[in-house]
Amino acid sequence: MITLVLGGARSGKSRYAQALAERAAEVVFLATAQPCDDEMRVRIERHRQERPATWKTVEVPLELESAVRKHGSRSSFLLIDCLTTFATNLMLMGNGNRDVIFAHIDRVCSALRESSASAVIVSNEVGEGIIPSSEMGRHFRDLLGEINQRVARQSDNVILMVAGYPMAVKGTVEVQP
């Protein structure tokens, strides 16, 4: 079972994903963020404190496919948080090369489909906000929209979070707030 959880900033995406994971026996949290500044370090630490201590955390800013393959066969549940920062990491690594980025995403999708673990993937819905003022911002918005579409096609459930409430876009809402 693959579930994609989308939403804007502070919409409850991570909280909902964690509620899904809490029902599993063995959870591996695949963290894609990199502590690039003080604010991000504080944010990462806050997220760590919010997770159960029994969950294994694996930092994977770029090697998400490998982590899904490795841990997807050893655990019952993978929580990927988040696809947005993974896309940012890929964009910076590949100088925005769409072919390179989509090849990574397609390999992650294949690994998720082949995994015996259930997975929930958190990502931002950035297409409903203001139009970014910079070319790079517009490129990122468009890129993430296409990435979300690719992952959504592979997902059994697609959940849109709005003000802390889950709305089923595809499949069903499994946990209520």
* Residue pLDDT, tens place only, 78-109: 999 999 999 999 999 878 889 999 999 999 99
Catalytic residue positions? 47
Question: How many CA atoms lie within 13 Å of 5's alpha carbon, on the beta-carbon side?
Answer: 30
Domain span holding position 42: 2-170
Q: pLDDT tier at 57 (50, 70, 90 boundaries)? A: very high
176 lies in some domain: no
128 lies in some domain: yes
More confident call, 46 vs 6: 6
67 lies in some domain: yes
177 lies in some domain: no
Structure confidence at residue 132 (pLDDT)? 84
Number of domains in the chain: 1
**pTM for this structure?**
0.94
* Residue pLDDT, tens place only, 129-168: 788 889 889 999 999 999 999 999 999 999 999 999 999 9
CATH number at residue 80: 3.40.50.300
What number is the average pLDDT over the span 13-22?
A: 95
